[in-house]
Amino acid sequence: MKVLVPVKRVVDYNVKIRVKADGSGVDIANVKMSMNPFDEIANEQAIRLKEAGTAEEVVAVSLGGPKCQETLRTALAMGADRAIHVESEAELQPLAVAKLLKAVVEKERPRLVILGKQAIDDDSNQTAQMLAALLGWSQATFVSKLTIDGDEARCSREVDEGIEKLEVTLPAILSVDLRLNEPRYASLPNIMKAKKKPIDKLTPEDLGVDVTPRLVYTRFEEPPKRKAGVRVASVDELVDKLKTEAGVL
Ligand code: AMP
């Protein structure tokens, strides 16, 4: 079984993001970029499936500018076998990403695509669902536990009431949540080995996909600054403040 893992290059989760002065977007000049954390989890899961003998090949794919190659090298250093870079300088919104991934799926014919549940830059949480719909494949989102048994993927997902258990038939699209696993760090020898692994290049034109944006972001603003809290000396004081000042009791 081949597993495809889409990995996005995003602003590192430790960076405190700044909105551009004109409100047109987030300032990413000179900002540390990394693999989307949920995609690290997706890649880790695919590699574990390979180590368990369930998968034969793990292919990482990234869509975007030339620097996506760094993200792909990280995926390869973690253990993916090869990579595909769909190079485009255009703003790639989730629908365009899903259409490009559909074209890659048709070319590569994986049985499983494992994505992050959301990209932490735009927080869209749309790509996996759109890809499943475009392909007409089964989907399980926010997967926090996974076992593959023949043609079935047994998935647990965290929902408000507890854990929901699903069985989806392959081929399938899975999107993964934080608790699925703890991604490994790439060791130095594996980073060196990854430099020799192949990265194929494609463009949206090669794949016949129109990536014109469909959404217009009108304005970005910083969230209002939170007021400093107060420390109370006792539970009685807290209850009194909740009654008299906050008016919530
Ligand atoms: P989103 O729907 O934008 O929140 O993204 C969900 C998931 O889709 C991410 O965690 C990635 O696995 C995948 N994805 C989104 N954009 C890209 C991209 N430009 N390149 C590779 N994978 C992507």
Ligand 1: centre distance to CA 116 (Å): 7
Asked if residue 97 has its Cβ within 6 Å of ligand 1, the reply is yes
Contact between 45 and 146 under an 8 Å Cβ cutoff? The reply is: yes
Mean pLDDT of the chain: 96
The distance in angstroms from the start CA to the end CA of the chain is 57
10 pLDDT band, cuts 50/70/90, is: very high
Ligand 1: centre distance to CA 55 (Å): 22
> What pLDDT, on a 0 to 100 scale, did the predictor assign at position 223?
87
User: pLDDT digits over 36-75, tens only?
Assistant: 999 999 999 999 999 999 999 999 999 999 999 999 999 9
Task: Please name the residue whose Cα sits nearest to atom 6 of ligand 1.
Answer: 118
Asked if residue 40 has its Cβ within 6 Å of ligand 1, the reply is no
Q: What percentage of the chain has pLDDT greater than the value 90?
A: 92
Calculate ∠ Cα 168-5-79, nearest 5°: 120
Of 3, 8, 129, 203, the residue with max ligand 1 atoms within 8 A of its CB, to mutate for a pocket test, comes to 8
Ligand 1: centre distance to CA 156 (Å): 21
237 pLDDT band, cuts 50/70/90, is: very high
Ligand 1: centre distance to CA 52 (Å): 26
pLDDT at 171 exceeding the cut of 90:
yes
Contact between 156 and 141 under an 8 Å Cβ cutoff? The reply is: no
Task: Please compute the mean of the pLDDT values over residues 190-202 and round it to a whole number.
Answer: 97
pTM value?
Answer: 0.92
pLDDT at 249 exceeding the cut of 90:
no
> What pLDDT, on a 0 to 100 scale, did the predictor assign at position 225?
87
Asked if residue 50 has its Cβ within 6 Å of ligand 1, the reply is no
Task: Please compute the mean of the pLDDT values over residues 108-112 and round it to a whole number.
Answer: 98
Question: Domains in the chain, start-ordered, CATH in brackets?
Answer: 2-246 (3.40.50.620)
- The Cα 181–Cα 20 span in angstroms is 35
Asked if residue 43 has its Cβ within 6 Å of ligand 1, the reply is no
- The Cα 139–Cα 148 span in angstroms is 14
Lowest mean pLDDT among 77-81, 91-95, 106-110, 242-246: 242-246
Ligand 1: centre distance to CA 127 (Å): 6
Task: Please name the residue whose Cα sits nearest to atom 19 of ligand 1.
Answer: 63
116 pLDDT band, cuts 50/70/90, is: very high
Ligand 1: centre distance to CA 54 (Å): 24
Q: Cβ neighbours of residue 86 under 8 Å, at least 6 residues apart?
A: 61, 62, 63, 64, 100, 104, 202, 203, 204, 207
